[in-house]
Structure 1
Amino acid sequence: MFGANNIRFAQETLAGCLILLVSLFCPSWAYAQAIPANNADNSIVVLMYHRFGQDQYPSTNVRLEQLDAHIAELASGGYNVLPLPDIIHALRAGTVLPDRTIGITVDDAFRSVFDNAWPKFKAAGLPFTVFVATDNVDQGNPDFMSWDQIKTLHEDGVTIAAHSLSHDHLPALDKDTTAREVNQSIARLEEMLGKRPEFFAYPYGETDLRLMKQVEEAGMLAAFGQQSGAITPAHNIWYLPRFAINERYGEAGRFRQVVNSLGLAVQDVTPFDPHLGQTPGDNPPAMGFTMPSNINRGDELACYHSDTGRIEDMTRLGPYRVELRFSKAFRSGRTRVNCTVPGPNGRWRWFGSLFYVR
């Protein structure tokens, strides 16, 4: 029989072996993109909107009274709302940003951004970024902004960034097609605006290691998904989290919780690739991560699966390594896993993952 000390030694040895396997077998760029910073508790919340005042689309819309409440909260004096380029440049430089730093992003370039959101953000002095899927604009889809409207935003100081050509499910496409989606959407924005975009957002938040590498090779400075959580220095800069805001998750109490969130700076995250079903045995994933050593109340970590609720099969290997196991394969489409730890003053630390199964 093992004594308690021997069991703990075995657990810590296994945790060390897992981390060693990461260093031996994971492509170096996939885990070595942690953003340098002086403080592991440096947290930035980036919000993601889609539609404004289009109440027939509640899953991607916020009502205008909700938007007004969000703007009032952000303008209340307790937050540091910065342009996305300022946030990313600071992160890449290792600059610690003020507490409650917020970035605002909007995906897809719907017409309601121009008609409803831009005047309100502008009046409040709140900078924001629009990620544009260019095919809808080129095709003159009336639900989307025109190039003239996008140029007007650009000339007014709104950051315009890339969101693919077609807004397709990119991990399901072949390598040549995804390269075209990335590179030609970037080139089209540069052609129409006279400025090359610096950032990319994956449609639906879906990505994989291949696609992340293509975005990096295209010269982007950062890329964004749709997994929940605040950005920390430990995050992969080619797959940064954002909090999705819609009618359901846009009520005042929940919004206040989101903008006061802190990051959970986990490292050595497995699996490396969020695209499941590519190799035998990768679905359900063997998910794990290493908790930061300086987080109080880490023993209160709780993780949740978007379909099944709280994850009970959670094992700790040593003081910081956490392993999650799932009894059933993840369904086709998107599955989210969110982990939270109570933070100071009623705030919460978040680490979110989004997995895609074709």
Structure 2
Amino acid sequence: MRKLLLLCALLASAPAHAAAGPPADPLALAMSSHAVILMYHRFGEDGIPSTNIRLEQFDAQLAALAAGKYHVLGLPEIVARLKKGEPLPDRTVGLSADDAYASSFTEAWPRLKKAGLPFTLFVATEPVDQKLRGYLTWDQIRRMKAEGVTIGAHGNAHPSLPAMTPEAMQADLETSMRRFREELGETPKLFAWPFGEWDAASMAVLRGFGYAAAFGQHSGVAYAGHGMFWLPRFPMNEHYGSLDRLHQAVEALPLPVSDITPQDVLIRLGQTPNPPVLGFTVAPGVERLKQMRCYTGPGEAVAITDLGGQRFAVTPPKAFAPPRERISCTVPTQEQGRFRWFGIQFTVQK
């Protein structure tokens, strides 16, 4: 069954990471239609710095985003334009938060509403159903939705979907959809991968639920021509919450690539080459490729081999450990302070 799902995913995405039928000028398309999407979790919950943004950091970020230089649009509009290849203003930004923590309602939404900034909340339904402390209630979610927040799906039990059997995966996603229908009267069109973890088989299952797009937790710029079921988002937390970091992210430009290998991001220890050699071809017209730099999630430099013809192989310095690892590559542009950015996340299983 899993092999069949893998084949379906590869055929549907051709390959899983690349847009089918690339345009004649992918760089021009990417430059005319791209957006930076920010991802948050908790707001003002200072005891959990890895998933929290301090309120003074968030206030400073919102002030910067609302100052006029940036175009903050809702994720549904961004996704719709990316899928059609329609233009988006340069420096378009989307805002999202995962997991439906209560501080999204008590702290984030009042600030966002006052600033007039659209927002998407990805809800894992089981913690809400169980009325766990620190999570939103369905009444609060309904109120946020009524006030303009886009509600996205984040699975039911917030599982690592690649770690599940196809049957268990299907059941979790079906439960999530059912609970949204029962509580909100409709089902979300956007999905965020729990932990940012996916593989070809889970992507094949997810596609069957009719979502318009799915988002990861790897840094990078979403652009027309990018795979719509692994769109990148820049994580924001206390460590990466400074204004310098914000501007680095929202000033980023797309680094359009194609023919990504390996075709599946799942690494099985003892069965799959580890570390993976990440291969990709950069779109024609991208300059300063000799200044490309790549790093792992913890910031370790990654060796880059120029294979010619805009093709590169990126080799991490050591094997990846479970449960996940990321690679980010950047290329400076001629515009001061702006970098082209491509990222990808690997799912690592024992």
Q: Common fold, TM-score beyond 0.5?
A: yes
Can you list the C-alpha shifts for 1:60-119, whole angstroms capped at 9, x where unaligned?
000110110010000010011111111111111110101000100000000001000000
Task: Tell me which of 96, 102, 109 is aligned to 1:105.
Answer: 96
Q: Closer, same or farther in 2 for the Cα pair 1:179/1:33, shift >3 Å?
A: farther
Q: Which segment is superposed worse, 47-56 or 266-275?
A: 266-275
Task: Tell me which of 313, 321, 337 is aligned to 1:323.
Answer: 313
Question: SS at 1:345's partner residue?
Answer: coil
User: 1:191 offset after TM fit, Å?
Assistant: 1.9
User: 1:307 offset after TM fit, Å?
Assistant: 4.3
Q: Closer, same or farther in 2 for the Cα pair 1:190/1:33, shift >3 Å?
A: farther
Letter in 1 for 2:241: G
In the aligned structure 1, how far is the partner of 2:30 from the partner of 2:146?
A: 36
User: 1:301 offset after TM fit, Å?
Assistant: 0.8
Q: Does 1:175 align with 2:175?
A: no
User: 1:179 offset after TM fit, Å?
Assistant: 1.2
The answer to whether the 8 Å contact 2:188/2:211 transfers is yes
In the aligned structure 2, how far is the partner of 1:124 from the partner of 1:331?
A: 41
The answer to whether the 8 Å contact 2:166/2:205 transfers is no
User: 1:40 offset after TM fit, Å?
Assistant: 2.5
Task: Tell me which of 283, 291, 307 is aligned to 1:292.
Answer: 283
Q: Does 1:333 align with 2:323?
A: yes
The answer to whether the 8 Å contact 1:182/1:214 transfers is no
Question: SS at 1:214's partner residue?
Answer: helix
The alignment covers a number of residue pairs equal to 333
What does residue 283 of structure 1 align with?
Answer: 274
Letter in 2 for 1:191: E
Letter in 1 for 2:207: E
The answer to whether the 8 Å contact 2:256/2:282 transfers is yes
Letter in 2 for 1:115: T
Which of these two proteins has the greater Rg computed from alpha carbons?
Answer: 1
Q: For structure 1, list consecutive stretches of 5 or more residues without a partner in the other structure.
A: 1-24
Can you list the C-alpha shifts for 1:259-285, whole angstroms capped at 9, x where unaligned?
111111111111111111178343221
Letter in 2 for 1:346: G
User: 1:247 offset after TM fit, Å?
Assistant: 0.4
User: 1:309 offset after TM fit, Å?
Assistant: 0.9
What does residue 142 of structure 1 align with?
Answer: 133
Task: Tell me which of 196, 210, 218 is aligned to 2:201.
Answer: 210
The answer to whether the 8 Å contact 1:233/1:265 transfers is no
Letter in 2 for 1:186: M
Say what the alpha-carbon RMSD is for the aligned residues.
1.8
In the aligned structure 2, how far is the partner of 1:159 from the partner of 1:319?
A: 42
Q: For structure 2, list consecutive stretches of 5 or more residues without a partner in the other structure.
A: 1-8
Q: Does 1:120 align with 2:136?
A: no
Q: Which segment is superposed worse, 158-167 or 291-300?
A: 291-300
User: 1:249 offset after TM fit, Å?
Assistant: 0.2
The answer to whether the 8 Å contact 2:10/2:200 transfers is no
User: 1:29 offset after TM fit, Å?
Assistant: 2.2
In the aligned structure 2, how far is the partner of 1:304 from the partner of 1:278?
A: 21
Task: Tell me which of 210, 220, 226 is aligned to 1:229.
Answer: 220
User: 1:317 offset after TM fit, Å?
Assistant: 1.6
In the aligned structure 2, how far is the partner of 1:130 from the partner of 1:273?
A: 28
Question: Could you state the TM-score of these two structures normalised by the residue count of structure 1?
Answer: 0.89
Question: SS at 2:155's partner residue?
Answer: coil
Q: Which segment is superposed worse, 141-150 or 191-200?
A: 191-200
What does residue 13 of structure 2 align with?
Answer: 29
In the aligned structure 2, how far is the partner of 1:270 from the partner of 1:226?
A: 19
Q: Which segment is superposed worse, 175-184 or 331-340?
A: 175-184
Question: SS at 1:195's partner residue?
Answer: coil
What does residue 84 of structure 1 align with?
Answer: 75
User: 1:27 offset after TM fit, Å?
Assistant: 3.0
In the aligned structure 2, how far is the partner of 1:258 from the partner of 1:321?
A: 25
Q: Closer, same or farther in 2 for the Cα pair 1:48/1:307, shift >3 Å?
A: closer
Task: Tell me which of 52, 63, 74 is aligned to 2:65.
Answer: 74
Letter in 2 for 1:324: V
Question: Could you state the TM-score of these two structures normalised by the residue count of structure 2?
Answer: 0.91
What does residue 94 of structure 1 align with?
Answer: 85
The answer to whether the 8 Å contact 2:40/2:97 transfers is yes
Q: Closer, same or farther in 2 for the Cα pair 1:30/1:110, shift >3 Å?
A: farther
In the aligned structure 1, how far is the partner of 2:63 from the partner of 2:140?
A: 26
Q: Which segment is superposed worse, 333-342 or 185-194?
A: 185-194
